[in-house]
Amino acid sequence: MNISAGDFSLITDNEVQNRAPMNRTIVLTQEERERLSISLIKDIPVESFKLPPQGTIHGDSIQISGKLPKSFVDLIFLDPPYNLTKDFHGQVFSKRSVEEYTAWLDNLLTAFKSLLKPTASIYICGDWYSSASIFTAASNHFIIRNRITWEREKGRGAKSNWKNSSEDIWFCTMSDNYYFNVDAVKLRRKVIAPYRNGDGTPKDWQETKEGSFRDTHPSNIWTDITIPFWSMAENTMHPTQKSEKLLAKLILASTKPDDFVFDPFLGSGTSSVVAKKLNRRYLGIEQNQEYCLLAEKRLELTETNKEIQGFSDGLFWERNTLSSQMKENYSPTRGACVKK
């Protein structure tokens, strides 16, 4: 079987050989494309799937949603193309009017809604411009609970506007009966004002060899997310890849082990990879075969590496705290950073 990357090969074998030693970007060899394509779910039944399949479906999620069983999803992560013109490896999404984008979103929420359990949580990503459409479309279908705004470090400078350095994730639920585990998503912050109790003991914080930390409740402003880049082990060439840390927060807050995570715009596979690392079931759909194969490669890599950068010891850490995390988990016998 000849599986080609098409005219838009993400990176050539030559480029891989000559790249900087610190570059850990996940790439596909031709042998991997052929081997991993076998694991993609391509045989869509004529009627519908009797049980929810687990893995990666290559195809159009809106069409395929009609073939999936009803009410199996605990968490749906929707990271659709934003209302921008963007080339996804040859498949271009074109910017449209706010009204048209809202109608497009409404249509896909209608398609996916019947797949959700009555207790399901829904997370929908967008930039500031898409956000108004998300609010309008989501409020037709779900209870909107919050909007998380996360700092997107890699914004492009603008000469006549404010640089865009944020993105939103709208948090919705199907009903008032939903799961939310705030203790699973605490953020470990360095203490700036180390107040003490009358007896001298730390007030709400811990003193450790590596410094003073406070484990805080997560708010709807996230400043601890790093966009994957070339020296990170999770990085791929996907143009809008989300970080594993971001997905880990959503999955840990809104699902229990063995719950079902569904992502109909899977891209490079981040949601499925994190679901697998955290022992949840997962299904992703992606229209582009090269991205599907990247997702499969990342899923395969989880067999030997379950680390999630920025999450260790059951806690999320602020950016640039790797050395503290390593010291916290330092094993004198193995002499290495041990992830739990």
Ligand X SMILES: C[S@@+](CC[C@H](N)C(=O)[O-])C[C@H]1O[C@@H](n2cnc3c(N)ncnc32)[C@H](O)[C@@H]1O
Kindly tell me which of 268 and 324 has the beta carbon lying closer to ligand X: 268
Q: Does 123 bind ligand X (CB under 6 A)?
A: no
Q: How far is the CB of 68 from ligand X (least distance, A)?
A: 13
- The single residue among 113, 117, 242, 297 that binds ligand X, judged by CB under 6 A, is 242
Contact set for ligand X, span 44-73 (CB under 6 A): 60-62
Contact set for ligand X, span 87-106 (CB under 6 A): 88, 91
Kindly tell me which of 25 and 288 has the beta carbon lying closer to ligand X: 288
Q: Where are the alpha helices (DSSP H) in 124-263?
A: 128-139, 244-254
Helices 289-301 + 270-277 axis angle, to 10: 20
Exposure string over 109-146, b if 16+ CB within 10 A, otherwise e:
bebbbebbbeebbbbbbbeeebbebbbbbbeebbebee
Q: How far is the CB of 125 from ligand X (least distance, A)?
A: 7
| Residue found by looking up tokens 């715009």 in the block | 265
- The single residue among 265, 282, 311, 317 that binds ligand X, judged by CB under 6 A, is 265
- The single residue among 291, 311, 316, 317 that binds ligand X, judged by CB under 6 A, is 291
According to DSSP, the residues that pair with 167 across neighbouring strands are 150
Q: Which long-range contacts (CB under 8 A, 24 or more apart) does 201-208 make?
A: 208/328
Q: How many CB atoms lie within 10 A of CB 184?
A: 19
Q: How far is the CB of 56 from ligand X (least distance, A)?
A: 11
Q: How far is the CB of 195 from ligand X (least distance, A)?
A: 40
Residues in the chain: 340
| Residue found by looking up tokens 């500031």 in the block | 128
| Residue found by looking up tokens 């899977």 in the block | 266
Q: How far is the CB of 264 from ligand X (least distance, A)?
A: 6
Tell me which residues touch ligand X (CB under 6 A): 60-62, 79-81, 88, 91, 238, 240-242, 265, 267-268, 270, 285-288, 291
